[in-house]
Structure 1
Amino acid sequence: MERQPRYVWLADQLRRPILRGELVPGTRLPSRTRLARNYRVSEQVSRAALRLLAMEGVVEARQGSGYFVREDPARVRVLRTDTSSVPGMGGLRREVEGTEQQPGQPPVSTRLRLRRGDPVYLTSALGMALDTPVALHLSWEPALVTTGTPHTPFDAEPGDGLLDRLEAAGHPVDGVVEEVCLRALREAEAALLCASAGTPALVVERTHYCGGRPVETSDLVSTTDQCRLVYRLSLPRPRNPAEPG
């Protein structure tokens, strides 16, 4: 069996008392030097362990002060399966940043089944909770889908729904696929969300289909501190044996 790296082992030793509640939010962790001495590891190992915990959101680094156990933040609940989630914002107030046409590049062109360089419309929007941006929504459409119609993203009025616009253009959506992943927040995203690059981020990749053809794909990006995804699933009603088959 492959041996566990020392920094991962040390992170486990520090994580356990935090998750058990033995170290309350706001508690300052020992310095890298003290950790190295207490656990008989190098300072390089203790530094890597602290950085791993910070990436996980368990602790936070304060400039010039060290590492502290993080507060459990209040998260916005983003609904993904009701009518309010159609624009991809799950009930958040949508504030459009702008729309531009650009050559499609992987992985977006792959998700839309386009050739590299085929034109797409990119619409950027922020999801606002009160006056705070908590989510970034990026939507890409193949330009071919609505070009030549009065239903391109450039023609959209505030409050226009994506599905209504695509249907008016002759592409009614009949299928949706979502994938959720966790990755580090990128610098451009962090600037818009008033967060730190490298913070753990939730990403929801949603693709709309018409007759099996992708007609739009989007990313909903938020830090794990800011949002929690809520999925409501309908279960089939059990058939009454007395009912005719």
Structure 2
Amino acid sequence: MPRDAPYLAVADALRARILAHEWKVGERLPSRVRLAEEYAVGRNVIQRAMDRLITDGLLDGRAGSGTYVRIPRQRLRLVRSRHRDRGYGSASTTEARQQGRADAWDSHSRVRVPAPEEIAERLGISPGDLCVTTHYEFLAEGQPVQLSESWEPLALTDGTAVVLPESGPLAGKGVVERMRSIGVVVSTVVEIPRAARATQAQANLLGIGVGELVLQIERTIYDSDGRPVETADMVIPDVRREVVYEFGVESP
């Protein structure tokens, strides 16, 4: 029978001690050096074991401070659904319909921003082509629960009343309605979720620790000709929200 990796055995041992309340909630665990000596393993093994327990939600890693028994927090459920997300990208309407919905948000748009290479590739434009970018910050029950950065090709909306997503006659109505008003029919939305660790900037905005788990969702919206009309990066702190994807079943 194959043996478990050493870090898994250490993680199991630490998990048992945490669940037995050897360390209280919010209490700092012994240093990696001390635990490495106790379990007769290398410090890298201890680090991997702690990373596993951080991923499992039992520990909090705090840069420059140590590792602590995590304080239990209620996670709100965010439902991503083809039936609910008809607005696609509106800060006010789409978020307000979600379970665990945001009850406050802030947005800031910039016009004539050159597209970075990665964004240009996602939008099917050339690097440096001008875009409208909008940054969103969402709150639920006073806690930051999501960040979003949206990009739209300026060539698509320049000179129209809907160039700014959260201003003008269709402010907050979402990509579908805004694009329809200028003769562009949205037909497809593609989302790519990826697990990641919070950067310093994300941690500051979300009120979490650097390196804590986040879910990053790369979303791109296409019109009926397959042309990308908007792409966005959403960042959701794992400790605050769980994301559920809901799909309908087509009838024969």
TM-score of the two chains, using structure 1 as the length reference: 0.80
Matched, 1:100 2:110: yes
Task: Return the index of the structure with the highest Cα Rg.
Answer: 1
- Residue 238 of structure 2 is matched in structure 1 by 224
- Residue 174 of structure 2 is matched in structure 1 by 161
Task: Output the CA distance in 2 between the equivalents of 1:65 and 1:150.
Answer: 50
Task: Give 5+ residue unaligned stretches, structure 1.
Answer: 240-245
Preserved CA contact (<8 Å) 2:123 2:228: yes
SS at match of 2:16: helix
CA RMSD, 1 decimal: 3.2
- Residue 68 of structure 1 and its aligned partner are, at CA, apart by 2.9
CA offsets 1:155-191 (integer angstroms, 9 cap, x no match): 7245332211111122121111111111111222222
CA offsets 1:33-65 (integer angstroms, 9 cap, x no match): 431222112446435643564466431246898
Amino acid across the alignment from 1:166: M
- Residue 143 of structure 1 and its aligned partner are, at CA, apart by 0.7
Task: Output the CA distance in 2 between the equivalents of 1:137 and 1:53.
Answer: 28
- Residue 117 of structure 1 is matched in structure 2 by 128
Distance verdict in 2 for CA 1:163–1:11, change over 3 Å: farther
Counterpart among 129, 147, 151 of residue 136 in structure 1:
147
- Residue 215 of structure 1 is matched in structure 2 by 229
What pairs with 1:1-245 in structure 2 (closer than 5 Å)?
8-9=7-8, 12-14=11-13, 16-17=15-16, 21-22=19-20, 26=25, 29-43=29-43, 45-47=45-47, 49-50=49-50, 53-54=53-54, 57-61=57-61, 66-81=66-81, 82-83=83-84, 86=87, 87=90, 89=95, 90=98, 91-93=101-103, 95-101=105-111, 102-153=113-164, 156-157=167-168, 158-211=171-224, 212-237=226-251
Preserved CA contact (<8 Å) 1:25 1:68: no
SS at match of 2:37: helix
Distance verdict in 2 for CA 1:207–1:47, change over 3 Å: closer
- Residue 243 of structure 1 is matched in structure 2 by none
- Residue 30 of structure 1 and its aligned partner are, at CA, apart by 3.8
Distance verdict in 2 for CA 1:11–1:32, change over 3 Å: same
Task: Output the CA distance in 2 between the equivalents of 1:146 and 1:206.
Answer: 19
Q: Percent identity?
A: 30
SS at match of 1:231: strand
Task: Output the CA distance in 2 between the equivalents of 1:105 and 1:55.
Answer: 31
- Residue 99 of structure 1 and its aligned partner are, at CA, apart by 0.4
Distance verdict in 2 for CA 1:77–1:219, change over 3 Å: same
Amino acid across the alignment from 1:197: V
Preserved CA contact (<8 Å) 2:165 2:172: no
SS at match of 2:41: coil
Distance verdict in 2 for CA 1:59–1:177, change over 3 Å: same
Task: Output the CA distance in 1 between the equivalents of 2:35 and 2:246.
Answer: 44
Structure 1 window deviating more from structure 2 (67-76 vs 226-235): it is 67-76
- Residue 14 of structure 1 and its aligned partner are, at CA, apart by 4.2
Task: Output the CA distance in 2 between the equivalents of 1:51 and 1:174.
Answer: 41
- Residue 108 of structure 1 and its aligned partner are, at CA, apart by 1.4
Structure 1 window deviating more from structure 2 (223-232 vs 65-74): it is 65-74
- Residue 117 of structure 1 and its aligned partner are, at CA, apart by 0.8
Task: Output the CA distance in 2 between the equivalents of 1:61 and 1:5.
Answer: 22
- Residue 242 of structure 1 is matched in structure 2 by none
CA offsets 1:94-114 (integer angstroms, 9 cap, x no match): 523310131111321111111
Distance verdict in 2 for CA 1:205–1:65, change over 3 Å: closer
TM-score of the two chains, using structure 2 as the length reference: 0.78
Task: Give 5+ residue unaligned stretches, structure 2.
Answer: none
Preserved CA contact (<8 Å) 2:11 2:52: no
